[in-house]
Structure 1
Amino acid sequence: DKRRRLSKLALGYLAHRRIKDTNCRFDVVGILMDNKKVRKVKHIELIKNAFPEVP
């Protein structure tokens, strides 16, 4: 499951950087592009705390 892999990666990063006693939060950014040939951003959505840490 993608969430489990992301959680494991994030916890590994925190351990590697020796960052302790901190909360971990997963934000997700969705970007909707215009369908025309010119690449233009139509909409950006930020979902803060999109999912909890998965053990």
Structure 2
Amino acid sequence: MGEVVDVRQNLIEPHNSDFGVENSLVVDTGQDHIAVGGYGAFLEDYEVKHTTLRRA
């Protein structure tokens, strides 16, 4: 668990990912920033099965 601090994506403008298939959330775990992606993630640090986002 952690706070989302960045988004890497290539779906809508402005694009900010290095690769066209990179769509991930960057999460601050309190000790590090990790990238999490969805099903089949291979560029990110972790592949997630379920994600819940809540308004801060």
TM-score (normalizing by structure 2) = 0.23
| Higher CA-based Rg | 1
The structure with higher relative contact order (CA 8 Å, sep 6+) is 1
